[in-house]
Chains A and B, each alone.
Chain A
Amino acid sequence: MLSRTAANLYWMTRYLERSETTARLLDLGFRNALLPNTGGGFRNEWSAILQSKGTLQNFTEKYGELKQRNVESFLFFDMDNPSSVASCITAARENARIVRTALTTQVWDAINTSFQDLKELMRRERSSLEVPELTDWSLRTAAQIRGAIEATQLRNDGYRFMNLGYAVERADNTARLLDVKYYVLLPSVAYVGSGLDNYQWTTLLRALSAHRAYNWAYGGELSAAQIAHFLILNPKFPRSLLSCSLEVNEHLDHLARMYDRATPAQEAARKLLGELAEAQIEDVFDEGLHEFLSRMISENAGLGQCIQDQYLTGEAR
């Protein structure tokens, strides 16, 4: 397979996953803003969300003051914001268009339809659109595309690259979301264990569609350690770092078998998996959750780079 084709498939799914995460962040912010004003109020929370995406500065330059409506527009519609839902869907569709022939009709249909729907949404009166409608649409769209991929794509190398894109991006996004809550969102340590703290944890879980799953898995009591365990180390939760790492390994192993050649990418992936599989949540907190997450984000980025170098440039031999 052409390296460029593989790169388009890989980035197509990265953008799709990223758009889903942005929608989830928007949902998180929206739900948090429903909470009575505490410790700096919603302004503080929206800025935390923008910070987690590294886009606070972009936002301030363009809009100035943090108004909820503006943040919503910025996160969903703004084409100047590279991680807005609109930007990501557009980029994903562009990548898909270039490799049309590597996609099944169903997958192309799903992606193209989402792009046409998006254009429709962008034409509508902004005041007629509430955040829940936007986030629901995003999550539904994401599920349709992923479903079409799972149900119809040939299990060839292209399929592996699509799944690698999803898994690498998802690991990054989960780590960032958790970091926002833990490190950025709470006004000060004095709030740990408070009502606000619990409310924020709940909204994080909701935004990850993991709210009920968590209750089933941990009996309903909220604790930072358990939630961190759930999002980092629980192999049953499909967005946990461990789950993502298992996926990356699975698909890289398939590639190694298919191509009859292992690369440093498999090695890097296995090393990360080894650590996550062995880790106890106490180790994570000993290192410091924020420090641990930052390190994970950077190692995951390194792994992404390694996949890029080994497969997507066509130069490695």
Chain B
Amino acid sequence: MSEAYFNEMYDGNGLRPPYRGLEGWYQDMPTEFRAFKQAEAEDLFRRFGITFAVYGDGGDPDRLIPFDMFPRVFAADEWRRLERGIKQRARALNAFLSDVYDRGEIIRAGRIPADLVYRNEAYEIAVAGFRPPLGIFSHIVGIDLVRTGVDQFYVLEDNCRTPSGVSYMLENREVMMRMFPHLFQENRVAPLDNYARLLKRTLASVAPAKCDREPNIVILTPGHYNSAYYEHSFLADLMGVELVEGQDLFVEGDFCWMRTTQGPRKVDVIYRRIDDAFLDPLCFRPDSTLGVPGLMNVYRSGGVTICSAPGAGVADDKAIYTFVPEMVRFYLGEAPILENVPTWQCAKPDEYKYVQEHLAELVVKEVHGSGGYGMLVGPKADKATIETFAAKLAENPGNYIAQPTLALSTCPTFVEEGIAPRHVDLRPYCLVGRDVDLVPGGLTRVALTEGSLVVNSSQGGGVKDTWVIAEE
């Protein structure tokens, strides 16, 4: 294994404290027992129905995300700092959103170029001037973090629209607790059970002012062919709210209603898991059959709250990303706790020149891309791939950003031969409503292939249970 990467379990002096409680567990585990447990885990996931559809090459719609039983562990003090940084960032992103759809102070102050915001594809002109309840646009903020050293964390990207994966965070824990209860008796692992209750409370706290009773909350899904459908139904079930499709809702008068066996019922808060473009065919894409005609009118007249708010995407755009530390300073008057990865904007000629010359060392991504598609990992690519990519890049440089290849930390992972270090990242889910909440944990994604730095589940990544050791 390479010394260049920070190993979360071993440093130069041996086992790091958060992992001490696991020492006997994995060392004494017989191979057959391990195989047996691995099969048990898969069986549990399959029974829960936790699958993730993979697009392309005839992907299996019932594929399981590989689950690695070796937990990833944070000490209480490590987590405390992360938590402060994550909440800070979530607040700043929301302050930014409510500002750019209002007076745009940050732009007037010259901290962010106007073009980058107002000419951004994700800037939603349809909601300019509209203030959603409590001024909150992004109610669930997923912040992707990587670690490169004991105290060094970087934010890879922000997800302000509808970050997915929280069901894996919860189910991974469920499965681990079922399979290895004694680990939880021996280690003080902070519980996650609160997530669904907090999410429901967050959504209820942004109910429209017109709502004068217990708000009726629904989750809006594109339907059961969507790769994240399992998660949608899982969350609906945990919160005890209806999972609806566009066809289940309609607009009449000043409100949005859902079709029930007892006739129409008013809807107050929609936690939508479909993109802005599909929300309302009368306002956005006219060919959308996933949305609800007229929904945006009801939204803008305060009849219903949409979470996350349409237009929230402008804050997690990869071109805006560079300015998030600036937002923290501007809106909160604080020093940013979490750092950004140094980023080159290919839109800027001098930075593009640098990227062109250093393609072999950099990771180049599309500004609007996601899921690990269409990106170049320089150090892992052969010459031909780099040349092909360079041509693509030259066609539209403004569409790309570049970052250095980060020395992602590793965490021990079960592999064929025993355990070996594999690269990991972390996505915590921050809830923003009347309060800002973060459950102690997140989704750890792991690149299962030796040496690989790509953790996306669509590219063969796996997941791990993420522990935060509770304070004494």
Contact = CB atoms under 8 A, between A and B. Distances in A.
A2 B233 contact: no
Contact of B259 (A4, A105, A109, A157): A4
A103 to B, nearest CB: 11
B97 interface: no
A263 to B, nearest CB: 10
A27 to B, nearest CB: 32
Contacts of B243: 101
A3 B233 contact: no
A3 B261 CA distance: 5
A313 interface: yes
A311 B233 contact: no
Contact of B224 (A98, A255, A259): A98
A259 B261 contact: yes
Interface residues on A, range: 20 to 34
A1 interface: yes
Contacts of A255: 261
- Pick from A4, A259, A313 the residue with the most CB of B within 10 Å: A4
Contacts of B339: none
A97 interface: yes
B237 interface: yes
A6 B236 contact: no
A254 to B, nearest CB: 12
B460 interface: no
A1 B259 contact: no
B59 interface: no
Contacts of A311: 261
Nearest to B258: A2
B263 interface: yes
B49 A6 contact: no
A97 B259 CA distance: 20
A124 interface: no
Contact residue range for chain B? 10 to 19
Interface string A113-150: 00000000000000000000000000000000000000
A194 B427 CA distance: 77
Interface string A85-106: 0000000000001101100010
A3 B248 contact: yes
A315 B259 CA distance: 7
Contacts of A100: 49, 233
Contacts of A155: none
Contact of B263 (A97, A312, A314): A314
A6 B260 CA distance: 8
A98 B243 CA distance: 10
Interface string B299-326: 0000000000000000000000000000
B263 A316 contact: yes
A158 to B, nearest CB: 9
**A interface: dominant SS:** helix
A4 B258 CA distance: 10
B372 interface: no
Which of B47, B236, B248, B263 has most A Cβ within 10 Å? Answer: B263
B244 A259 contact: no
B290 to A, nearest CB: 14
Contacts of A5: 242
Contacts of B261: 1-3, 6, 157, 161, 255, 259, 311-312, 314
Given A3-B248, A101-B237, A101-B243, A259 B259 contact: no
B402 to A, nearest CB: 42
B262 interface: yes
B50 to A, nearest CB: 11
Contacts of B263: 314-317
Interface string B258-276: 1111111000000000000
Interface in B45-68: 47, 49
A110 to B, nearest CB: 13
A314 B49 contact: no
A261 B261 CA distance: 11
A255 B263 CA distance: 13
B223 to A, nearest CB: 8
B245 interface: yes
A261 B262 contact: yes
B224 A97 contact: yes
B237 A313 contact: no
Interface string B237-250: 10000111101100
A101 B235 CA distance: 10
A262 to B, nearest CB: 12
A3 B245 CA distance: 11
B259 A3 contact: yes
Contact of B260 (A1, A97, A98, A161): A1
Nearest to A157: B261
B5 to A, nearest CB: 41
Contacts of B260: 1-3, 314
Nearest to B234: A101
A100 B247 CA distance: 19
Contacts of A2: 242, 244, 248, 258-261
Q: Which of A100, A105, A259 has the most CB of B within 10 A?
A: A100
Interface in A1-35: 1-6
B259 A313 contact: yes
A176 B437 CA distance: 60
Given A157-B261, A317-B264, A4 B237 contact: no
Contacts of B244: 2, 4
A101 B259 contact: no
B48 to A, nearest CB: 9
Q: Which of A6, A101, A259 has the most C-beta atoms of chain B within 10 angstroms of its own C-beta?
A: A101
A314 B233 contact: no
B217 to A, nearest CB: 13
A287 to B, nearest CB: 36
Q: Which 8 A-B pairs have the closest CB atoms?
A: A314-B259, A101-B237, A317-B263, A3-B259, A311-B261, A98-B224, A6-B261, A1-B261
Interface of A: 1-6, 97-98, 100-101, 105, 108-109, 157, 161, 255, 259, 261, 311-317
29 contacts: A1-B260, A1-B261, A1-B262, A2-B242, A2-B244, A2-B248, A2-B260, A2-B261, A3-B259, A3-B260, A4-B244, A4-B247, A4-B259, A5-B242, A6-B261, A97-B49, A100-B233, A101-B237, A108-B49, A109-B47, A157-B261, A255-B261, A259-B262, A313-B259, A314-B248, A314-B258, A314-B263, A314-B264, A316-B263
Given A97-B224, A314-B264, 7 more contacts: A2-B259, A2-B260, A6-B261, A259-B262, A314-B258, A316-B263, A317-B263
